Amino acid sequence: MPKIDVIMPQMGESIAEGTITKWLKEKGESVERDESLLEISTDKVDADIPSPASGTLAEILVAEGETVEVGTPIARIETEAGAAVEAADEGGEGGEGGAPPEAETAPAPSAQPEPEPAPAAVAASPPGDGDGDGGPLTRDQRLRTRSTPLVRRMAAEHGIDVSSLSGSGISGRVTKKDIIAVIEGRPAAAAPAAPAGVPAGPPGVMYVPIHGETLEIKIPEIIIKETDRVEEMSVMRQKIMEHMLMSRRVSAHVSSVFEIDFDRVADVRKKLKPRFEQEGVKLTYMPFIIKAVIEGIKAYPVVNSSISGRKVIYHGDINIGIAVAMDEGQGLIVPVLKNADDLSLLGLARHSNDLGNRARTRKLDPMEVHGGTFTITNPGVFGSLFGMPIINQPQVAILGIGAIEKRPVVINDMIAIRHRAYFGISYDHRIVDGAMADFFMVKLKEVLESFPEDM
């Protein structure tokens, strides 16, 4: 019977790989179309991957715990519905296991498999895309140069020619770990047997590039006692670690803190809560904050930008990421409220509540965790007064909200009790100046302290 490949899906524009955390079906088991087949983890989201068709799980190609690049075949489903797909695979030049090179940017499996491009389209190279002598690239050369957007961006920022490297990915494809190895002054791994990203040198030593020189850092030895409990990091925690370290390495982090009076917002919220409850929507402070952020971005769009090499991309859309803490310290997920400036206060409340609830129950669509242009994180719900959050790459600013609580303050030389909160913004000083970040925060403060009831 014909078989359909299940591939590692593209979970976001900057996601290059994913880790199989759990197979929900065993080899030989039947599976229905859209039924959850496995669980995967990336640095942005844990997600269930549905089966692209009904049939039998004929092969599991990637075991639990293994990390593979986007576009890699991870399983095969035996089903008559896959006949057309198999025929297309046999007619065109595919990647490993029948996956075409373009599969690296393929979306998550859908209910109906999309048709493969014609063989000529797969084999064709764009003008000038040759081997240096005017001839077409070989298949391996194309696979190597067709790296992920993240790899190409990192290479461009450090002046690295991706096509000159022999990577550790499929058919020599250059991976993020290979690029990091080159940046840190080590040769990229030439084969999977020598994985990239592992610090060179003796145990307990790592090398960090500083101003063009390599700095040797000795890692203190930790003596594990009998009373200590040792466990492996979860896949998601490892990905968060990598993403945060990368952000600190890439961006020039600077932070500012403002104190904001929330009495006006508290009054408006009290008046609007009954109307929102009639619509089945819980009204928190978050929609007011999002609205103020939107007004700040409109006034100072640099905080809604990204840096690519020596170019600044000012995003036309305002897509607000809202960090959601997972249960039991499993990390953060940042679902994205797309085109937030098109929504009313009611719409912001409804959509942000929905995203938060589905994030906590792991029911987010993969497309809902990428494309953000500015992020809000709210440690204040846990009692924190303020924090200095790490920028969510490739963005250039992130807002941290402290606890909103009643405090004694001096107003007109008198002591008054007011709702107050500290807001901290971390920004990338490569493009956002301190004055510009403060102007943005002043605008945000003005909106919140004079919030119109009909906004």
Number of helical (H) and strand (E) elements in the chain, helices listed first? 10, 21
Catalytic residue among 131, 433, 438, 454: 433
pTM of the model: 0.61
Q: What is the residue extent of each domain of the chain?
A: 3-123, 139-218, 251-449
Q: For CA atoms 103, 106, 110, 116, give the dihedral sign.
A: negative
Give residue 142's pLDDT.
Answer: 47
pLDDT in tens, the chain (455 residues): 688 889 888 765 556 678 888 899 999 888 888 888 888 877 656 777 888 888 899 999 999 888 888 888 999 998 765 444 444 444 444 343 433 333 333 334 433 444 333 333 333 333 334 444 444 444 445 444 545 656 776 777 777 777 777 676 654 667 777 777 787 765 544 433 333 444 444 556 666 555 555 666 677 778 888 899 988 887 777 778 878 888 888 899 999 999 999 999 999 999 999 999 999 999 999 999 999 999 999 999 999 999 998 899 999 999 999 999 876 656 788 999 999 999 999 999 999 999 999 988 888 887 888 899 999 999 999 899 988 999 999 999 999 999 999 999 999 999 999 999 999 999 999 999 999 999 999 999 999 999 998 76
Give residue 137's pLDDT.
Answer: 46
Tokens of 105: 């940017």
Give residue 193's pLDDT.
Answer: 38
Yes or no: say if 93 and 100 are a contact pair by the CB < 8 Å rule: yes
Whether 315 is catalytic: no
- Residue of 381, 368, 304 lying closest to 333 (CA atoms): 368
Catalytic residue among 327, 429, 438, 454: 429
Determine the topology of domain 251-449 in CATH: Chloramphenicol Acetyltransferase (3.30.559)
**CA 148 – CA 425 distance, rounded (Å):** 30
Give phi and psi for 67, each to the nearest 5: -110, 130
**CA 244 – CA 345 distance, rounded (Å):** 32
Give residue 208's pLDDT.
Answer: 57
Whether 429 is catalytic: yes
**CA 377 – CA 74 distance, rounded (Å):** 34
Question: Angle 345-360/263-278 helices, nearest 10 degrees?
Answer: 80
**CA 103 – CA 88 distance, rounded (Å):** 14
Is it true that 3-123 and 251-449 share their CATH fold? no
**CA 98 – CA 373 distance, rounded (Å):** 36
Tokens of 233: 């990091």
Q: What CATH code is assigned to 3-123?
A: 2.40.50.100
